[in-house]
Amino acid sequence: MPRESSAEERMTAVAQAHTAFRHVRTSTSDERSRWLVGIAEALEEHRSALVAVADEETALGAGRLNGELDRTIHQLHHFGDVIAQEKHRRAIDQPGDPDASPQPRPSLRQMRVPLGPVAVWGASNFPFAFGVFGGDTASALAAGCPVIAVEHPGHPRTSELLAEIAQGALGECDALRGTFALLAGRATGASLIADAQVKAGAFTGSYAGGRALFDIANSRPDPIPFFAEMGSVNPVFITRQAVRQRGREIAQGLVDSATLGVGQFCTKPGLVFVSDGVDFVTMVEDRVANVAPAPMLTDSIAANYRQRRSEMMHNSAARATFANASSADESEGSAAVLVIDHKALKESWSVLSEECFGPLMVIVTCDSDSHLVDWAQQTPGSLTATIHASGDDPNDRATVNLLVDELQDSAGRIIFNGWPTGVAVSEAMHHGGPHPATMNPIFTSVGAQAIDRFLKPVTMQGFPDELIPLWLRGGTPLA
């Protein structure tokens, strides 16, 4: 049975976070930067133990987990650098103007301040980078918000070890008790987001889980922001010319990306539209046949994958190709391809246009490049959309422009001649998208701007310089 924190444990964690907020909100950016760097160094120090425990619980393998831990440590340093430079404050200094019309204008200085204690849910597929001390927790702390994290039942011991290491590092940096806490359990999570002293939530996981918590957050007497990253089909559009020029390369890239991590990436390309794609389908099927079944994160995730795959097969006109499905045991996922003509897709759209979490891809064969644009108008909100086209063909350039025009409405990141798996932690990254991929397309959960989710603007009017924080006095001036 998954662990469930008691009501007393939850109330204690919330009360301590509320108390700690008075200190955390007034801490300097340099202080919080030291906290993040201290945690990063502690994670590095305990790397072997973390990777060993996470591998036992997730079967992701030491190579993948070490790489993910590298990313986790990097993003802690990244957020530390961002706040040390006060970039997150978005300070604006507008001097007063006694001659302004129609009336004099007082001095206005705008800053961003932390919201308050934040609840964070760890994800199943990235126990480090999106776990209880992943990017959501790091960005909330960087903003000046205490965090109460809820562990994922798929890797409880990893979550507990991460929490123990982080709390130890925070203690050594003189952070107040309650700056970070760990809880467990579905009922605990539901009551946590309903607690009046919790001021925001961040979640990565299934649509059903994210929607349920979002609804609680918005039905409170005082609704709060809830940032949920959920399912995404991440459509791919491949022109006829691209298939002719690079068909084998694209087919291999698709299979590699769709089966990476046994298809358990939120950015897995799951819905592929290809123009004149008969030969391309054969290339993909030949490559999928060589993909061996592999353990999925949990037995329940593997069972859900098989059930969803079966639903998609039996409720559509698609034909299926499997890779060694008969040799997969109950904990493993075997790769599969469903192929359907775009005309038949209309009847099966509701079934095939939803995410299948696992190594399955749906290929839609289209008669022309214009049909790619038609389907781009209908694809659901996704974290990413990918275009493969010829860069030197005038017709392809025109098609790309039309696709980009449409996909800006439905994707948070558009990739050209690449693949969406692999998300860079950087200033310009946007890891978000329209519903149902997330509950708010404006914000990202990766990169420096992830901090913005946990800050709110406040304007100080008419204050003399001596009563203004030093960092605010140097804000961006407005003429």
- In whole angstroms, what is the distance from residue 310 CA to residue 23 CA? 53
User: Is residue 230 a contact partner of residue 210, using CB atoms and an 8 Å limit?
Assistant: yes
Q: Rounded to 5 degrees, what are φ and ψ at 89? A: -70, -25
List 150's β-bridge partners, or say none.
121, 183
- Answer yes or no: 145 catalytic: no
Q: Which helix (H) or strand (E) holds 229?
A: strand 226-229
Query: Is the bond into 457 cis (omega within 30 degrees of 0)?
Result: no
Contact 376, 405 (CB under 8 A): no
Nearest-CA neighbor of 201 among 224, 220, 173, 181? 224
Q: Does 160 qualify as catalytic in the annotation?
A: no
What 3-state class would DSSP assign to 97?
Answer: strand
Three-state secondary structure call for residue 205 = coil
Burial state string for 8-24 with b = 16 or more CB within 10 A and e = fewer than 16: ebbeebbebbbbbbebb
Angle between helices 29-45 and 156-172 (to 10 degrees): 130
Rounded to whole angstroms, how far apart are CA atoms 261 and 256?
Answer: 10
Cβ neighbors of 1 (< 8 A, separation 6 or more) are none
Q: Are 149 and 189 in contact (CB under 8 A)?
A: no
Helix (H, G, I), strand (E, B), or coil: what is residue 178? coil
10 Å CB burial of residue 28 (0-12, 13-18, 19+) is: middle
Residues with Cβ within 8 Å of 375's Cβ and at least 6 positions away in sequence, in order, are: 235, 237, 273, 342, 364, 366
Q: Please state, in angstroms and rounded to a whole number, the distance separating the CA atoms of residues 69 and 134.
A: 10
As beta bridge partners, residue 178 has none
Active-site option among 57, 151, 266, 332 = 266
Geometric angle at alpha carbon 128, from 127 and 132, rounded to 5°: 75
| Omega before 102 within 30 of 0, i.e. cis | yes
Catalytically annotated residue among 68, 86, 151, 229: 229
Active centre residues (catalytic): 229, 266
